[in-house]
């Protein structure tokens, strides 16, 4: 599964994308964020306040309880500030 | 009404609002109203050197298309253009353009405002400030007022 990061999530994680094998027991966006937060200090800083983070599955906005099953690409980013 | 598709572009280059507006009306006589909105980069009282616009390629275009599709379903529009720039943008330069065309003004006004409210809260773009003193500044915080504006629709 491909993970992508944007804006300050990207800066804190220290990379813009990576491929991972989804660990057993991680089924949804919230679970994936909790697992990522435990990887190192950068990930911990990026996902310290998971409620703030927005997520997309295959380039469509989703809530944190969305199932990861069948998705190829997950993206994490702060609330959007375009326009 | 003839079938038509919104014009959606995400690009680094500047755009010409007048030209984009003319494209929507060229050669037709059914359009009675065109609303053009341009969002510009402010200098925030002189302290800002530039904004850096990051985006999620692919999803940015897809999300703007989804928002445009909703506007098209909701109002009797005859044309719609949305352009969002990326990369480094200096104060005074344009960032975003929305053009809506309809037979009567109400649909064009409302659809343009709807598009901007949802572009700001749903399209995956993020602004970072670069300050005149050379400091790479902060990521711009999302404003509750923008969520409130989108929520009223």
Whether the per-residue pLDDT at B120 is higher than 90: the answer is yes
CB contact under 8 A, A82 and B139: no
**Which of the pair, B145 or A53, is modelled with greater confidence?**
A53
Residues 6+ positions from A76 with CB-CB distance below 8 Å? A3, A4, A5, A6, A9, A33, A46, A47, A53, A54, A55
Whether the per-residue pLDDT at B90 is higher than 70: the answer is yes
Nearest-by-Cβ selection for A75 from B39, B56, B146:
B56
pLDDT tens-digit profile of A6-26?
A: 999 999 999 999 999 999 999
Q: How far is CA B50 from CA B87, B134, B145, in A?
A: 10, 10, 23
Q: Tokens for A44?
A: 């911990």
Q: What is the pLDDT of residue A46?
A: 98
ipTM score here?
0.96
Exposed/middle/buried for residue B70 (C-beta within 10 Å: 0-12, 13-18, 19+): middle
Q: In sequence order, what E strands does chain A have?
A: 2-5, 17-19, 54-57, 60-62, 73-77
The domains found in chain B, sorted by start residue, are 7-151 (3.90.1170.40)
How many helices, marked H, and strands, marked E, lie in chain A?
A: 3, 5
The domains found in chain A, sorted by start residue, are 2-77 (3.10.20.30)
In this prediction, residues B67-77 reach a mean pLDDT of 98
Q: What is the pLDDT of residue B1?
A: 64
Q: Report how far residue B17's alpha carbon sits from residue B36's, in angstroms, rounded to the nearest whole number.
A: 7
pLDDT tens-digit profile of B19-63?
A: 999 999 999 999 999 999 999 999 989 999 999 999 999 999 999
CA-nearest residue to B137 within chain A is A8
Residue B51 touches partner A, C-beta closer than 8 Å = no
Which residues in chain B touch residue A77, judged by CB atoms under 8 angstroms apart?
A: 56, 124, 126
Which residues in chain B touch residue A61, judged by CB atoms under 8 angstroms apart?
A: 63, 122
Which residues in chain A touch residue B37, judged by CB atoms under 8 angstroms apart?
A: none
pLDDT-derived band at B133 (thresholds 50, 70, 90) equals: confident
Whether the per-residue pLDDT at B2 is higher than 90: the answer is no
């Amino acid at each position: 599964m491909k993970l992508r990061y944007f804006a300050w999530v990207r800066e804190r994680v220290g990379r813009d994308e990576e491929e991972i094998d989804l660990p057993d027991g991680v089924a949804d966006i919230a679970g994936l964020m909790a697992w990522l937060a435990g990887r190192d200090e950068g990930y911990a800083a990026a996902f310290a306040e998971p409620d703030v983070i927005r997520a997309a599955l295959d380039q469509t906005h989703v809530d944190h309880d969305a199932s990861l099953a069948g998705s190829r690409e997950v993206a994490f980013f702060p609330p959007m500030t375009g326009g | 009404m003839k079938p038509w598709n919104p014009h959606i572009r995400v690009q680094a280059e500047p755009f010409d609002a007048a030209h984009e507006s003319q494209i929507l009306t060229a050669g037709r006589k059914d359009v009675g109203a065109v609303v053009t909105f341009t969002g510009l980069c402010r200098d925030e009282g002189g302290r800002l050197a530039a904004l850096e616009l990051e985006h999620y390629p692919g999803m940015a275009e897809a999300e703007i298309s989804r928002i445009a599709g909703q506007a098209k379903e909701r109002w009797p529009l005859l044309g719609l253009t949305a352009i969002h720039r990326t990369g480094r943008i200096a104060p005074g330069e344009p960032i975003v353009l929305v053009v809506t065309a309809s037979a009567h003004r109400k649909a064009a006004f409302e659809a343009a405002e709807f598009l901007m409210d949802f572009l700001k809260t749903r399209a995956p773009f993020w602004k970072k400030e670069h300050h005149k003193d050379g400091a790479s500044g902060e990521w711009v915080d999302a404003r509750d007022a923008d969520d409130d504006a989108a929520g009223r629709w």
